[in-house]
Amino acid sequence: MSPIAIRLKDIREAKKLSQGELAALADTRQGTISLLESGKTRRIDLDLLERIAEALDVEPADLLVRMPKRRGPR
């Protein structure tokens, strides 16, 4: 299974929103937005994903990006 990353910062900045503003619109904490953007957490429940997507006026799938599989030593 390929890892999936959350593409958030570039979309948020294109909409000219601060992390705090997005957090308020998505009914979450600014710290949660920060963790998602930094990659320190990749866990996001579907409800939060939908709220963030709605706040950014994008589809939830627009926030997800498929990362290449890491290949280990053979």
Cβ atoms of 67 and 4 within 8 Å: the answer is yes
Contacting residues for 9 by C-beta, under 8 A, at least 6 apart: 37
Looking at the domain that runs over 4-66, which CATH code has it been given?
A: 1.10.260.40
pLDDT level of residue 2 (50, 70, 90 thresholds) = very low
Q: What is the pLDDT of residue 67?
A: 73
pLDDT at 41 (0 to 100): 80
Q: Please report, for the chain, the start and end positions of each structural domain, with discontinuous segments joined by +.
A: 4-66
- pLDDT, tens digit, 9 for 90 and up, residues 8-44: 999 999 999 999 999 999 999 999 999 999 888 877 8
